[in-house]
Structure 1
Amino acid sequence: MGEKILVLDAGTTSTRAMLFDRRGRMESVAQAELTQHYPKPGWVEHDAAEIWEKTLGCMREAAGANASEIAAIGITNQRETVVAWDRDAGEPLARAIVWQDRRTAGSCAQLKEAGYEPELQKRTGLVLDPYFSGTKMRWMLENDDAVRAAAGTGRLAFGTVESWLVYKLSGGSHVSDASNASRTLLLGLDSGEFDQDLCELFGVPKASLPEVVDTHGKLANCAAEWLGRKIPICGLVGDQQSATIGQGCLSFGETKATYGTGAFVLTNNGSDLPRSDNRLLGTVLHQSEGTRTYAIEGACFVAGSLVQYLRDQLGLIGSASETEGLARSIESSGEVVIVPALAGLGAPHWLPDARGVISGLSFASGRAQIARAALEAMAHQTHDLCSAFAADGAPWKALRIDGGMSANDWMAQDLADILDLDVERPDFVETTALGAAICASVGAGIYGSLIEAAEAMRGDTQVFVPVMEESTRSDRLARYVRALSVA
């Protein structure tokens, strides 16, 4: 058996498979776009069968003739997205409800009004928001006849996307790793298990939920029918935790930000249970032999999807890569400010009903100003999080960035300027997939620890140093705060 690692990265807009060697070098990749379904305003759905079929196709393409050399499979995934399937037939019962979906805002508001949020945040590390999985499961049970019927006969299986893929790959293993399970509003952070009282609060049958397992170890087996031989699944980890591991943020206080569809910041909190007075989240970063390492997290729902919106909905750009040239073509955004609340506002505001704002428009405002303001919005949102982390006693010393948007040099420099911090970007920005490869390599015994694996598999980094004058920074942030007040 060889030492290659096959990573399945089931994201929001696409699913991929990537083959890595033991030094973290990517040898092959296959990718397929996923269909986005928007049946109503604020609703976002995926076809779980499509996720499985396209992931399987990518897996076979990326593995090619190398199946005999694959030591293990690692899976990373869009978190909070809920799949409901029939555990006997192994087929979806309804479309998956995506993490971006806001249909449960009303039920979250009712639970807040009833006073549940403080205790929920203490027990789960999370706030009451449609973002998380528990309210999605409740909605399915209340509104979908097939899901409700399966629950009544004991055939219902709920899971996030990694759980669904493992079920299909293994032919029936129903597991979820601790990092994904900690995003459901159903897991006790201190116990690491799904909590019966929380399940009853959300009306979710505990029997429908997966077994909670480590992020790395011998977790399940991929059946021989898919790649010609049985291969152990040795890494399972939610995408943002995976990127944190891929960035080597394995010591207390180290921080990363991923700029993909949304923007997600995680700070390693070690073995300490995360507690926030500023509406940040506590989550499991990784778990080994039942021992959990935690993280503090701040999530912004809209990042790269704002650029996609400018391209697909407004037609202002032909490709995302155009934004850097447009931003550099002008000296400033001309007081144009964008608050990208197209799916509500995440941390630290948590306003699901907030809507996007473009302010400061004049006849001098063109597509260059709007494109630059869209990139500036990334730094503004991140600054909100930076302030909240500092207020919670977790100030950032530097910020490691990754994700598709981080390849934009102008945006990376703007982040450094607005945060007044060094911003570090790895040469290999696909750290989400790399983190899953690191987990799987440790789970397979190729390396003895995550730290050892990260040191061996991470590459070089580029550092962006702040150069903006304080007066310019202050003026930018003041304009953003004014725009934020009307979102």
Structure 2
Amino acid sequence: MKMREAKQVLKMGDEKYIMAIDEGTTGIRAIIFDHGGNIVSQSYEEIKQIFPKAGWCEQDATEIWEKCVSVMRGAIAGFGIGAEDIEAIGITTQRSTNLLWNKKSGKPIYNAITWHDTRTAELCSKMDGNGKIRAVRAIGNVARKISGIWKGILMTKTGALLITASNLSFTPASALAHTAWMLDNVDGARERAEKGEILFGTIDTWLIWNLTNGRVHATDFSNASSTGMFDPFALKWSKLFLSTFNIPESILPEVRDTSGDFGVADKKILGAEVPIRSAVADQQSALFAEGCFNPGEVKCTNGTGSFIDMNVGSRPPASLHKLVPHIAWSIDGKVTYMLEGMINTTGSAIQWLKDNLGIIDDVNLSEKMANSVESTEGVYFVPAFTGLSSPYWDPHACGIAVGLRRKTKKEH
């Protein structure tokens, strides 16, 4: 159904609508759906990325919030309805990008550090060698060896926990390391955090806090499990990880159901109070949207990076290949888990070809160029601009082009 036709039909009745906020690495969008799942209006704005140093990537959290308000208002105005016609708001966001802000003023104390920032690579390597972490990993390695003799250990929750422990290695993409960096490098941050004056949040928490005018400081299980601070087995913030990185638990948000009550958007924002009834991380949202509700069902998402996610059911699994279980969602108290393989840089590598090397003039022409030659002629490129993710977890890896010859052209 075309948008104009949808307007005419839907406005004949006393319809209510659902608003989705989709905040990603490069932009934010507000989409209004009817109860038939039709998109009736949407609004989009780009969000800048800031690169202060090599390997650093930040975003202005105030810009994210202001553009969130702008696209919400734009989507409502585009359909000619009022905020009172919006039944509920759902929020999906990029994962691990995080910030700290002043509890009283609501102002960030530093830019949001994004999920593909690698400034904490050395810190993570140091913490990998921490005595407590090495001990946990050693115990896990014993379980891994047992699994070679008795496969049944993989099917137990304790076995899965121990096998996961053997894979334990901190990644600079995590909010865990970013938060420790901010507490130690932003003037007065640690002291203020210990006094209860600072709050932590991933982008979903930041938007919810602002939408509710500071009344709700919360996240959901899917976002929490992507921070590196959360124990997906115990379903609570990990005291081991927090103590290792010296992060006070008091700054962290409450963890609620993905389909939980996240408060009400303040009347001043849209002109009427609107309930916030869902928050979910972007890849988990995509897994749900693709209908992967049963164990073994898989989706692949290609964007800034690429993510292959598999629903693994109601019990966290053991991975012998350095994959860490994530929480896909929690609905009515029932938790669903997933395993994920990821590449940090895919779509952004095409943007790099345009902006940095000038090989292409328009990113939309990349497919046409690639299809203009019969093969790659043996040329391949590893886009490890921010290191390698699963299953290598090497933050020091760099991009490399292999197989270049005299006859190699830009189309290859």
TMscore range, shorter length? 0.7 to 0.9
Match of 2:51 in 1: 38
How many Å apart are 1:146 and its aligned residue?
4.3
Counterpart Cα distance in 1 of 2:362 and 2:167: 38
Q: Is the 8 A contact 1:16 1:29 kept in 2?
A: yes
* Residue of 301, 304, 315 corresponding to 1:261: 304
Deviations 1:20-72 (A, max 9, x none): 12222212221111111111111100110010001110111012232232111
Q: Is the 8 A contact 1:13 1:34 kept in 2?
A: yes
Counterpart Cα distance in 2 of 1:86 and 1:122: 35
Give me the TM-score of the superposition, normalised by structure 1: 0.73
Counterpart Cα distance in 1 of 2:303 and 2:43: 18
* Residue of 154, 168, 172 corresponding to 1:130: 172
2:351 aligned with 1:338, yes or no? no
Match of 1:156 in 2: 198
Q: Is the 8 A contact 1:6 1:63 kept in 2?
A: no
Decide which moves more: 311-320 or 171-180. 311-320
Q: Is the 8 A contact 2:302 2:346 kept in 1?
A: yes
Q: Is the 8 A contact 1:94 1:147 kept in 2?
A: no
Q: Which amino acid is the alignment partner of residue 38 of structure 1? A: F
Match of 1:283 in 2: 326
How many Å apart are 1:367 and its aligned residue?
1.5
2:38 aligned with 1:25, yes or no? yes
Counterpart Cα distance in 2 of 1:137 and 1:123: 22
Counterpart Cα distance in 1 of 2:73 and 2:411: 42
How many Å apart are 1:190 and its aligned residue?
2.0
Q: Is the 8 A contact 1:86 1:157 kept in 2?
A: yes
Q: Where do residues 58-207 of structure 1 align in structure 2 (5 Å cutoff)?
A: 58-64=71-77, 65-66=80-81, 67-114=83-130, 116=133, 118=137, 122=164, 127-172=169-214, 173-207=216-250
| SS of structure 1 residue aligned to 2:363 | coil
Provide closer, same or farther for how the CA distance between residues 248 and 231 of structure 1 changes in structure 2, counting only shifts above 3 A.
same
Provide closer, same or farther for how the CA distance between residues 141 and 124 of structure 1 changes in structure 2, counting only shifts above 3 A.
farther
Q: Which runs of 5+ in 1 are unaligned?
A: 370-487
Q: Which amino acid is the alignment partner of residue 392 of structure 2? A: H
Counterpart Cα distance in 1 of 2:41 and 2:109: 34
Provide closer, same or farther for how the CA distance between residues 2 and 88 of structure 1 changes in structure 2, counting only shifts above 3 A.
farther
Counterpart Cα distance in 1 of 2:39 and 2:89: 14
Q: Which amino acid is the alignment partner of residue 71 of structure 1? A: E
Decide which moves more: 228-237 or 29-38. 29-38
Deviations 1:164-213 (A, max 9, x none): 00000001110011100001222111222113333212211111000000
Counterpart Cα distance in 2 of 1:58 and 1:86: 25
Counterpart Cα distance in 1 of 2:377 and 2:398: 22
Counterpart Cα distance in 2 of 1:363 and 1:10: 43
Provide closer, same or farther for how the CA distance between residues 20 and 126 of structure 1 changes in structure 2, counting only shifts above 3 A.
farther
2:316 aligned with 1:300, yes or no? no
Match of 2:411 in 1: 368
Q: Is the 8 A contact 1:19 1:28 kept in 2?
A: yes
* Residue of 28, 40, 48 corresponding to 1:15: 28
How many Å apart are 1:122 and its aligned residue?
3.4
Q: Is the 8 A contact 2:300 2:309 kept in 1?
A: yes
Match of 1:401 in 2: none
How many Å apart are 1:123 and its aligned residue?
6.5
Q: Where do residues 208-227 of structure 1 align in structure 2 (5 Å cutoff)?
A: 208-227=251-270
Deviations 1:318-365 (A, max 9, x none): 222211111111100111110111111111111110000111112211
Match of 1:420 in 2: none
How many Å apart are 1:125 and its aligned residue?
8.5
Percent of counterpart pairs with the same letter? 38
Counterpart Cα distance in 1 of 2:243 and 2:249: 8
Q: Is the 8 A contact 1:125 1:189 kept in 2?
A: no
How many Å apart are 1:314 and its aligned residue?
0.8
Q: Where do residues 391-406 of structure 1 align in structure 2 (5 Å cutoff)?
A: none
| SS of structure 2 residue aligned to 1:145 | coil
Q: Is the 8 A contact 2:327 2:337 kept in 1?
A: yes
Q: Is the 8 A contact 1:79 1:161 kept in 2?
A: yes
Q: Where do residues 327-476 of structure 1 align in structure 2 (5 Å cutoff)?
A: 327-369=370-412
Counterpart Cα distance in 2 of 1:209 and 1:247: 31
Deviations 1:362-382 (A, max 9, x none): 22111111xxxxxxxxxxxxx
How many Å apart are 1:267 and its aligned residue?
0.2
2:313 aligned with 1:309, yes or no? no
Q: Is the 8 A contact 2:164 2:319 kept in 1?
A: no
Match of 1:484 in 2: none
Q: Which amino acid is the alignment partner of residue 348 of structure 1? A: P
Give me the TM-score of the superposition, normalised by structure 2: 0.86
How many residues are paired up? Answer: 369
| SS of structure 2 residue aligned to 1:313 | helix
Q: Is the 8 A contact 1:127 1:281 kept in 2?
A: no
How many Å apart are 1:274 and its aligned residue?
2.2
| SS of structure 2 residue aligned to 1:321 | helix
Larger Rg: 2
Deviations 1:272-308 (A, max 9, x none): 1122111112100000233211001111101101101
| SS of structure 2 residue aligned to 1:285 | strand
Deviations 1:223-260 (A, max 9, x none): 11111111110110000000101111111110011101
Provide closer, same or farther for how the CA distance between residues 93 and 124 of structure 1 changes in structure 2, counting only shifts above 3 A.
farther
Match of 1:457 in 2: none
Decide which moves more: 170-179 or 23-32. 23-32
Q: Which amino acid is the alignment partner of residue 129 of structure 1? A: T
Provide closer, same or farther for how the CA distance between residues 327 and 360 of structure 1 changes in structure 2, counting only shifts above 3 A.
same
